[in-house]
Amino acid sequence: MIRSLPQRNIAVERNTMMRIVSTALSLAVALAGATAALEAQSFRGGNAVTIPSGEVQEGDLYTGAETVRVDGRLDGDLIAGSNRVLVHGRVDGDVFATGNTVDLRGPIGDSTRVAAQTLTVDSTIDGSLLAAVAQLILTDDARVAGGIVAAAARVEIDGTVENGVRLAAGEVVIRGTVDGDANLTADRVDLQPGARITGDLQYRGRTPLSPEAAALVDGEVRFEERVDDESEGGTPWGVVIWVLQTLAALLTGIVVVALFRGVVQRLAGSAAEQTTLSALLGFAAFLLVPMAAGIAMVTLVGLPLGFATALLFGVALYAAKLPVAVWIGDRLLSRAGRHGASPHAAMALGVPLLYLLFAVPYAGWLFWLGATWLGLGAMVVSGRRHLGLGAAAG
Same-domain check for residues 249 and 102: no
Do 43 and 6 reside in the same domain of the chain? yes
Quick one: 107 and 47 in the same domain? yes
Using an 8 Å Cβ cutoff, are 30 and 47 in contact?
A: no
Whether 44 contacts 68, CB under 8 Å: no
User: Which of 206, 225, 244 is a domain's end point?
Assistant: 225
pLDDT at 360 over 80: no
* Stretch (H or E) spanning 293: helix 275-298
Domain tally, the chain: 2
Based on the fold, state whether residues 116 and 245 are members of the same structural domain. Answer: no
Residue 388, pLDDT score: 60
Residues 173, 68 share a domain: yes
Domain span holding position 9 = 2-225
d(CA 59, CA 107): 17
* pLDDT reading at 160 higher than 90: yes
pLDDT, mean of residues 4-15: 44
Residue 230 covered by a domain: no
- Strands 78-81 and 95-104, how do they pair? parallel
Higher per-residue confidence, 111 vs 97: 111
Residue 167 covered by a domain: yes
Q: Does 99 fall in a domain?
A: yes
77 shares its domain with 214: yes
Both 200 and 129 in one domain: the answer is yes
One domain for residues 252 and 150: no
Instruction: Tell me if 231 is assigned to some domain.
Output: no
pLDDT band, very low/low/confident/very high, at 5 (cuts 50, 70, 90): very low
Please give the model's pTM, rounded to 2 decimal places. 0.59
pLDDT-derived band at 193 (thresholds 50, 70, 90) equals very high
Do 157 and 252 lie in one domain? The reply is no
Q: Are residues 250 and 325 in the same domain?
A: yes
Alpha-carbon span 157 to 173, nearest angstrom? 6
Question: Which residues are CB-neighbours of 9 under 8 A, at least 6 positions away?
Answer: 224
pLDDT for 221-261, tens place per residue? 999 887 655 444 444 455 667 777 788 888 788 888 878 88
- Name the domain boundary from 225, 253, 277: 225
Which one of 92-101, 178-187, 323-332, 354-363 scores highest in mean pLDDT?
178-187
CB atoms within 10 A of CB 315: 9
Average pLDDT over the chain reads 81
94 and 117 in a single domain? The answer is yes
The reply to whether 55 falls in a domain is yes
Per-residue pLDDT tens digits for 98-138? 778 999 999 999 999 887 889 999 999 999 998 878 899 99
* Whole-number Å distance between alpha carbons of 16 and 183: 10
Q: Where does a domain end: 225, 257, 275?
A: 225
